[in-house]
Amino acid sequence: MTQRLRETARRLLQEGKVQVVIGYGPSKPGAAAPPVLITRPEDADKLEWNGRCFANLAVYLTRKEVKALGKAAVVVKGCDEKALVVLEKESQIDRAALSVIGMVCEGVGTPRAAKCASCQVRVPRFADEVIGEAAQPAAAAPGPNGLDRLMAKSPAERWAFWKTEFARCVKCYACRQVCPLCYCERCIADKNRPVVIDTSATPKGNFAWHITRAFHLAARCIGCGECTRACPAGIPLGLLNQALAQATEEDFGYRPGMDPQAEPVFGSWSPADKEDFIR
């Protein structure tokens, strides 16, 4: 697969179809594959594909330094690709100008990441080129997962849990910077007229940040898990997003990033909405 990936990238650059290929680079076993931005065909051999390709490369598509390079090709796994669906719906990317190289993926990480056990999108669905053999989607994950275990606790226990977890937050904003859907040019956390979220790494500042971010991602987060992986303090941030994703599916029958035709929850309204206070 790596060979085909390199050939594809080389061809796209040589033919001038794209000016940059965003993919994964070389890494030693145990280390995550670092993102690389290839602008010259001869550098295509730097591209790799393996079980350490954790990053969601869609995050680069909204960064101005990358947009300045020109048309892009991006290497995505099925989970990452869901971000492209949302970004396009929110008019942040021009799908026609983007080349999507989809990699068939049976899971990343050793041991395999939890999200992979229930993956339904092992074969990217909307790529311009799919590399890899067809693979079956996973069977639905049996048994309780992290969210089930958390929600089984009482509200008081959950409050205590998050107090302990957030006490380790240093406000590095890695969670925000790795997220492909956190693309606001001036994040609410950086607003100072007025200050909406204290920048301090205090209980107040940390709760305000994480809860606000989770709500701003509600019905948008595609569950790639990069926020959790990036957190240097090991806070299980993804649980917040999963809880809201569950509520979104239950209340609106909506799963972000799955159906490009589905209207986003916060961007649409249906007369059949079950809430009647708005009628």
Partner 1 sequence: MSAAIPVAALRELIAGWIGQGKLVAAPVQVGDRLLYQALASAQDAVFDARRRPANSIKEFFFPRHEPIFRYRIEGKEIALAEVAPQEREQIVIASKPCDAAALPILDHVFNWDFEDSFYTARRARTTVVSLACQAHDDACFCTSLGSGPEDESGSDAMLHDLGDGQFEVRAITEKGGALFPDRAGKSGDTPGPSCRMAGSPPNEQFDPARVARYLAANFESPPWKDLTLACLGCGVCAYTCPTCHCFDIVDEGNAAGGARVKNWDSCQFPLFTLHASGHNPRAVQPQRQRQRLFHKFLIYPRKFGTVLCTGCGNCERNCPVGLGVLKVLQAIDDEAKRLDEKEPLQA
Cα 124-91-265 angle, rounded to 5 deg: 80
Minimum distance from CB of 168 to partner 1 (Å)? 7
Packing angle between helix 155-166 and helix 203-216, nearest 10 degrees? 110
Closer CB to partner 1, 212 or 262, in the complex = 212
Q: Alpha-carbon distance 109 to 226, whole Å? A: 13
Residue from 144, 146, 234, 260 binding partner 1 (CB under 8 A): 234
Considering only residues 156 through 175, tell me which ones interact with partner 1, judged by CB under 8 A: 168, 170-174
**SS3 call for 254:** coil
Can residue 108 be called a binding residue for partner 1 (CB under 8 A)?
A: no
Can residue 202 be called a binding residue for partner 1 (CB under 8 A)?
A: yes
Minimum distance from CB of 153 to partner 1 (Å)? 17
Choices 138-146, 192-200, 216-224, 262-270; region in contact with partner 1 by CB under 8 A: 192-200
Choices 10-18, 36-44, 97-105, 271-279; region in contact with partner 1 by CB under 8 A: 36-44
Residue from 5, 13, 18, 33 binding partner 1 (CB under 8 A): 33
Can residue 35 be called a binding residue for partner 1 (CB under 8 A)?
A: yes
Q: Alpha-carbon distance 84 to 96, whole Å? A: 12
Residue from 190, 243, 255, 258 binding partner 1 (CB under 8 A): 190
Residue from 2, 19, 27, 118 binding partner 1 (CB under 8 A): 27
Minimum distance from CB of 17 to partner 1 (Å)? 20
Can residue 64 be called a binding residue for partner 1 (CB under 8 A)?
A: yes
Closer CB to partner 1, 187 or 219, in the complex = 187
* CA separation, residue 234 to residues 138, 158, 167, 195, 228 (Å): 27, 17, 11, 27, 7
The single-letter DSSP state of residue 186 is: S
Can residue 50 be called a binding residue for partner 1 (CB under 8 A)?
A: no
Question: Where do we find the tokens 């925000």?
Answer: 176
Minimum distance from CB of 80 to partner 1 (Å)? 14
Hey, what are 193's tokens?
A: 């007229």
**SS3 call for 182:** coil
> Please, are residues 60 and 75 in contact by the beta-carbon 8 Å criterion?
no
Question: Where do we find the tokens 């607003």?
Answer: 191
What dihedral do alpha carbons 245, 249, 253, 258 form, nearest 10°? 50
Closer CB to partner 1, 191 or 273, in the complex = 191
- List the one residue out of 105, 102, 69 whose CA is nearest residue 85: 102
Site residues (CB under 8 A) for partner 1?
27-28, 31-37, 39, 55, 59, 63-66, 168, 170-174, 176-178, 190, 195, 198-202, 205, 226, 229-230, 232-234, 236
